Each structure stands twice: as C-alpha cells, then as structure tokens.
Structure 1
Amino acid sequence: MTSSQGSGLTESAAPTLSRDLGLFEVVVYGVGLILGAGIYAILGEAAGVAGEALPISFVVAAVVASFTGLSYAELASRFPRGEGDYVYVRNAFGSKRLAEAVAFLRVFVGAVSAAAVALAFAGYLDGFVSVPAVPVAIGLIVLASAVNFWGIDTSVKLNLAFTAAEVAGLAIVIWFGRTTWGNVNVLHSPFGAPGVVEAAFLVFFAYLGFGSIVNIAEETENATETIPKAIVLAIGVTTVLYVFVAVSAIGVVNWEALGASSSPLTLVARAGGGDVAASVITAIALTSTANTVLILLVSTSRLVYGVSKSEYRSFPTVFSRVHAARQTPYLAVALVGGVTIPVTLLDDLGQVASLANGGLLVVFVVVNAALLKLRYEKPDERGGFTAPLTVGRLSVTALAGLVTSLGLFTVYVSSFL
C-alpha cells in the first residue's frame, strides 16, 4: 500500500474498473438507454404526422437505427474499450484530431441530453407538487452523479429497477389498447408516405441510446461477445415495445388528439383507466427521466475516462484515475456532472438538445465510415461479431447506416433553413 491510498488512489498498482456486468445487466442497461424519456413525449408529435400508420414509422426508424447499431456492435467486438467512438475513429482513420472531435461531440451530447431530461423530470414532478425546475434538475444531477461515483453495480441495480418501471408503464398502455388493435388501419396515413417518413425521423431519436452501450465495455464480462449481443437485443426489445405501444395508443385515442398532447401516454392511460392510471403513468415518467439522467452520466463519464488514458493523451490524464475503493473514474464522474449542471441554466434547452441530436448524427456518419474503412484495410482483424450482409469486404449495413444517417442529418439541417 502506498501513502496515496488515503486519497482513494493507489499509485503502485493503479486500480481498474470493476467488471461486474453480464449480458442480462448490459441488455437492461441498453434498454434503459434507448427507452429513456423520449417515448413519453415524442409519440404524440409523431402520431400527428403519421396518423394510424405510426407503428410503421417505428419499424422504419428501428431498421435505420439497426444499420448503425450493427456497426457499433462489430466495432465494439473489435475494440472492447470504454472510449468507444474515439478508438474506432482513431484506428480507422489514424487521425487523433478527428477522434477527439468525435469524443467532444459525444460528451456534448451526453451533457446536454442529461440536462434536458433532468429538466423534464422537474416538469413531471411539478405535476404532483409545485417545484422550481432548475434547482430540482440540479439536485437530480448531483444525486445521479453520487450514485455513479458509488459504483457501477449500484448504478446497474437502480437502472434495473427503473427500467422495470418504464417497461411496466408501457405494458399498461399496451394492456389498455389490446382490444383495439383490430380497429387500427396501419396503412392509413393522413399525409401519405411523407408523413410516415417524417414521423420515422422524429421517433428515430427514441432509439439513439444504443451508441452509448459501448461505453461500459470495460465493466462488462467478456465484452467482445457481450456488448454486440446486448446492442442487438436492446434494439430488438425496444422495437417490439414501441410498436405495440404505438398500435395501442392509436387504438385508444384518436391520432389527432395524440398529436395535440404533450403527454400522450398519460392521455392514453386516462382514456383507458381513468385518473388513477394517468397518475401511475406520470409517476413512471418520473422514474424514466431519473433513470435516463443516471445512465447518460454513467456512459458519458466512461467515455471521458477512456479518452483520458495516458496512451491517448487527448483529454487530461487526471480524468483516467480510478478510485481505489469504489473502482469508478471519480474525477471523470465529477467533470461530467459539473459540465451538465450549467446546461440546465440555458433558456432554450430544447433547441440546444436538438443541436446535440444533430451532432450525434454526424458521429454516426463517421462511425459507419470507420467500419467501412476497417473492413477494407484490416479485413482479418475482426472480433467475435461481424455485421450481416457482407459483399466481399463491403459491409452493406454499414453503408446503409452511413447513407441513412447522412440523409437524416440533411433533413435535420434543412429544417433550420
């Protein structure tokens, strides 16, 4: 033992992250990331443009998300590292600057998203008791950061409980709508195919969490096999839930009413089970938002930890230090929490969060391009998972992921023009 142990850091034998996560835990973590809080709000806006064809929009979005998800799965199998996107891009293009730009974008997205969802938590809480939004959001970020510091095992146990609550809330909606499925004409869209595509663009953002699953690779047992499986399973599980929720919601409440509601699932629950059911869904939305904040802070801090390693020297190496007792990157946890808190003070957080989503699409373009390049230049250096649909050295799914991500980014930019 060295004298530095009192500070939580052992210099002679630097502590490492604790590998406590198996396939089940990582899948649940991924489902929690993807479900997030988006489905509780975005479903209404999407219904307003897709009409009864809303379930088809979810399927289209799932297919598009799967293209890039498969690229992440193969890259995570090649490089099972917590720095994720950074190491993929750096190995593919040999550019430290490009890799750093991607890492900065991911940290920005994580911080802004966590702040936005923390404010959403305050909004849901205000439905039960009048509270000031910003102090509540900051309090949640501080509490989630404390849990993040305490240990990945504790974070995952909370994530398991919160994700179970999220799934239960969606199951309630599905239950209320189960008798109406036969009345839903999923081929009818009031605005035709363009409406279905626009809705798919909106609900695509309800899938974005899959890219952060890779950031817990160094806390996962047999990460080379577990992380790719978890990405595929998490996208699959959430897609099934989303489609059934979409059919049920459209069956219980007219699509126009859903489109006009800022809390569509609460509206469905009230129509199906009265005020008590609506209150239950609102309470579950609280757990959903709290869970999303926690796992965003976890994944973002692991990215900072990874990129700060001395072998890269892209971020200050101090952030790669691991607490000897808790086995967590405590300084990276503090940095991410500290960066997230000021974002809650922004006036137009919705627009900033939208910019973060645009930045994430740029990351997806680069990540898909990284796999395409690695397939050509290092075809034999594959891990335990290879994305399907390969023609020679070409990954068809990675090419589709690049094209669709670029297309979505173009649509996104055009919305500001």
Structure 2
Amino acid sequence: MDATQPELKRALGLLSLTLYGLGTIIGAGIYVLVGAVADRSGMSAPLAFLLAGVLAAFTGLSYAELGQRLPEAAGAAAYAREGFKSHWMGRIAGFLTLAVAMVAAASVARGGAGYLLTMIDIPLPIASGGVIVLFTVLACWGVKESVYAAGAMTVIEVGGLLAVIVIGGPALADLGVRLPDIWPADLNGWGGVMGGAFLAFFAFAGFENIVNMAEETQDVGRTLPRAVVLSIIISAVLYMLVILIAVLSVAPDLLAQSDAPLCLVVDCEKSTMAFFAPVALIATLNGVLIEIVLMARVAYGMARRGWLPKLLSDVHAGRRTPLKATLAVGAIVFALTSFVEFQVLAKATSAMLLLVFLVVNLALIRLKQVDPAPHLAFRVPNWAPVAGAFSSILLLGAEVLA
C-alpha cells in the first residue's frame, strides 16, 4: 500500500454499524421475495425463511470472528488468502464477493419496480438507473453520510414491516389451527421448503457486508461482532412475523403472482395505506446504496493487494472515500440493472453467495487450527464454521438436485 495514501476514516459505532447491517439484510429480500418463496414452498414458506435464517446464522458467527482476526476492507478475499495461504483463493473469493454485490444491487433495483409501478408509470431503466447514479454520488461523498442515509432508510423500511405486523397481526390468531398446513406432509413438501430456503437465503444476505466496514469502525474488536449478531437476530424476528402473517392472510398462489406481495397483506389501495408503497420502495432501493458502499470497499481492498488496477485503491484526500472504486462499481451495476430480471438475479446471488460462504467457513476452520487466537474479544466455537460450511453445501446441493 502507498504510504502517502490517507487511511479510511473510523467513524462507525455499534448503532450506525447495526443499522447498516439491518439495511443490507432487510429490503428486497422480504418485501419482494415473499411471493417467490411462497411460489416454491406454499404454506410452508415460513419454514423456508426459518431454515435460511438458522443456516445464515452459522456463517454469521464465522464472519464475526474473522472480522476481528483480519479487520480489512477486502473481507472474504482477505480471509480466503490467509486461511488457505493462497493468493489465488483470495482472488477467487474477492471476485465472487464483488460479483455477488453487483448482482444483488441490480436485483434490488429491479425488485423495487413492482412497488414503484403502483405509484407512477415510467420506464424501469430510467427509474432504476437514476437511483443508481444518485446513490453512487452519495457513496462517493463520505462513508458517514452514506451509512447515516442508509440508516435513516433502514428505520423507514423496518417501520414498513412493523406496519405489516400491526395491520396483519390478527391473522396470527389462526396460527394454532393452521400449523398442520404449514408443516410439510411429505418429502415433496420438504423439497419445496429446501427450494424456498435457497431463495430465502437471499433475504438474509447482507450480514457479511458488515465486516467490510472494519477499517472504518471504532473499537472493531467489540463493535463488529455485536453488530453482526444483532443484525441477524433483529431481521430474523421481523422476517418470521411478516412471512407468517403473509401466508395466513393471503393465499400463497396470490402472493406468488404479485410483483408487490406485501401490498396484498396491507391492501395498498386503501387511502389510509397510501404510505406503504413508497416505504416498500425505499426499503428495496436502500440495498442499492449499501451494496455500492460494500463493493467499493471490496474493490479498494483488492486493489491494495494488487488484484485489481492500482487506481482503484486511491482514497480521495478530502472525502477519504475510495472514489474511483465507487464510480467503477456504480457503472457496472447501472449496466446490470438494465438487462436482467429479478428472480434470475436473486437465484444467481444466492448461488454465488453460498460459494463465498463455503470458502469463508473453510478458511476459518484452517485459521483456528493454526492459531486459536485466545486474545480475541469474541471467538466462535469450533463447530460453527463446520456447520456453516455444511449448510452452504446443503442448500447448493438441494438447488442443483431440485
């Protein structure tokens, strides 16, 4: 690294980092994927989300420890490099992480179209492209400003989910009676749960992005693992309540046919619910900003290691952000958003993400063998990365065999 380059600014505490984590997890995943998961799993969609959340938690614990061991913006690329002592493994993990973030950002932008079109009728490329340009400029402006803006939007999107819970809450009174409908009756039903869990995994994607902010986090040894764990727990609780209410109040086939499935739950056509579509749109588009911030940090970290052109490692002297890396990834996302459909992007995101998680968990297993690191403020039990690696293989295998 060039000694004359300024360092990234450590400006993030537990609250802002947890909000950032929630913003990366909550968004298009729950607001849009409810219908896609219901299409695969039917009334068992809550089990698909539950399974995806449990399996994601294993890998989340691995990231929480790795973020302390190697507090670098390169994230998974650095973990694979150190765990396998291989530059090539680092490069593969880094490029996969970049690909995941780019495809995820594009899918989020496309996924928000259903809610956008309930308000105005404009061409999707113009709307999504304008959002990407706007958020790329904001990401260039500064990490604190970007994360605070994402945090504000996270509060709004969580508010939207709470509105679903409050309005649709009475449907939970039928949970006891309808549990037999939710529990699969045969192997075909469980196959649908596994297929739904593969898609639902996309809804939990994002906790891994927190570690990429390690170089900009205050007291990283304590703050980072707490933010990872809190983000997963809060999002999992919200998801389970929302998906239960959705399938109990609206037939799964109707959810599957809708581009704005949660609007069916709260009835967006009512004048009193006019606020919900804009809230859902903010929730889906918030992920675009967060993914752009993430991708810029990964590209910056990889460029510092010489795996990408050196100019991407430049830090703007005034803003102290990776300006050139941010502009580069923003341009790529802009192009992706214009050409690929949401479900295709979501499936590709889940598949690539599971490959990254497999590599990261295996890297932690090897690092624990070489250095148990007793000095860390937070260490996960040895079985956690093993469970994370196994669960990644399980979901990938289920999708391939489906």
TM-score tier (shorter): over 0.9
Matches of 1:377 and 1:331, distance apart in 2: 37
**Structure 1 position 240 matched with structure 2 position 237:** yes
Partner residue, 1:282: 277
**Partner Cα separation in structure 1 for residue 3 and residue 221 of structure 2:** 29
2:246 to 242, 245, 249: 249
Conserved 8 A contact 1:122-1:131: no
- Deviation of 1:154 (Å): 1.1
d(CA) in 1 for partners of 2:45 and 2:266?
18
Does 2:339 correspond to 1:346? yes
In the aligned structure 1, how far is the partner of 2:40 from the partner of 2:138?
Answer: 40
CA contact (8 A) 1:249 1:265 kept: yes
CA drift of 1:148 comes to 0.2
Cα shift at 1:26: 0.5
For the residues of structure 2 that align with 1:338 and 1:52, how far apart are their CA atoms? 40
Contact residue 114 and residue 259 of structure 2 kept, 8 A: no
The residue identity in structure 1 corresponding to 2:13 is G
Give 1:218's aligned residue.
215
* CA apart distance, 1:14: 2.5
Paired with 2:118 and 2:282, the residues of 1 have a C-alpha distance of 14
Paired-residue identity, %: 37
Q: State the partner residue of 1:120.
A: 111
Distance 1:204 1:382, change over 3 A: farther
In 2, the alpha carbon distance for the partners of 1:25 and 1:164 equals 11
Letter in 1 for 2:397: T
Q: Which amino acid aligns with 1:90?
A: R
- Of the three residues 357, 360, 368, the one matched with 2:353 is 360
CA contact (8 A) 2:211 2:224 kept: yes
Q: Report deviation, 1:413.
A: 2.8
* Alignment partner, residue 388 of structure 2: 401
* CA drift at 1:334: 1.0
**Aligned match of 1:336:** 329
Higher relative contact order (CA closer than 8 Å, sequence separation 6+): 2
Checking the alignment, whether the CA contact within 8 Å between 1:85 and 1:367 is kept in structure 2 is yes
Consecutive unaligned residues in structure 1, runs of 5 or more: 1-10
Taking a change above 3 Å as real, the CA distance of residues 39 and 91 of structure 1, as seen in their structure-2 partners, is same
Q: Which SS does the other structure have where 2:275 is aligned?
A: helix
> TM-score, normalised on structure 2?
0.92
Would you say 1:302 and 2:304 are equivalent positions? no
Which of 50, 54, 57 matches 2:45? Answer: 54
Residue 172 (str. 1) matches residue 172 (str. 2): no
The answer on 1:189 being equivalent to 2:176 is no
Gap change, CA 1:121 and 1:115, over 3 Å in 2: same
**Counterpart in 1 of 2:203?**
206
**Amino acid across the alignment from 2:395:** L
- Give the C-alpha shift of residue 410 in structure 1: 1.7
Q: Is the 8 A contact 1:78 1:382 kept in 2?
A: no
Q: Could you say which residue in structure 1 is the equivalent of 2:262?
A: 265
- One-letter amino acid of the structure 1 residue matched with residue 223 of structure 2: T
Q: How many correspondences in the alignment?
A: 395
Counterparts of residues 374-389 of structure 1 (less than 5 Å): 374-380=367-373, 383-387=376-380
Deviation at 1:207, TM superposition (A): 0.2
Provide the rounded CA distance (Å) in 1 between the counterparts of 2:264 and 2:83.
48
Q: Does 1:44 align with 2:44?
A: no
TM-score (norm 1): 0.89
Matched residue type, 2:63: Y
Please list the CA deviations of residues 147-180 of structure 1 after superposition, one character each: whole Å capped at 9, or x if unmatched. Answer: 0010111112211211111111111110012222
Q: Tell me: CA distance 1:265–1:277, structure 2 relative to 1, closer, same or farther (3 Å).
A: farther
Q: Deviations over 1:275-331 (max 9, x none)?
A: 23553221112111221100000011011111111xx21112221111111111101
> 1: CA distance between counterparts of 2:256 and 2:123?
28
Aligned-partner SS, 1:402: helix
Question: What corresponds to 1:6 in structure 2?
Answer: none
Distance (Å, rounded) in 1 between the aligned partners of 2:271 and 2:156: 16
Where 2:11 maps in the other structure, the secondary structure is coil
Q: Please, which moves more after superposition, 194-203 or 312-321? A: 194-203
SS at match of 1:75: helix
In structure 2, what residue type is equivalent to 1:370?
A
1:3 maps to none
Alignment correspondent of 1:144 = 135
404-413 or 291-300: bigger deviation = 404-413
- 1:254 Cα shift? 3.2
| Cα separation, partners in 2 of 1:294 and 1:100, compared to 1, 3 Å | same
Does structure 1 conserve the Cα–Cα contact (< 8 Å) formed by 2:110 and 2:342?
A: no
Cα distance change, pair 107–276 in 1 and its aligned pair in 2 (3 A): same
8 Å contact from structure 2 (residues 114, 260) kept in 1: no
Q: Counterpart of 1:7?
A: none
Indicate conservation of the 8 Å contact 1:40/1:264, yes or no.
yes
Q: Which amino acid aligns with 2:383?
A: V
SS at structure 2 position matched to 1:19: coil
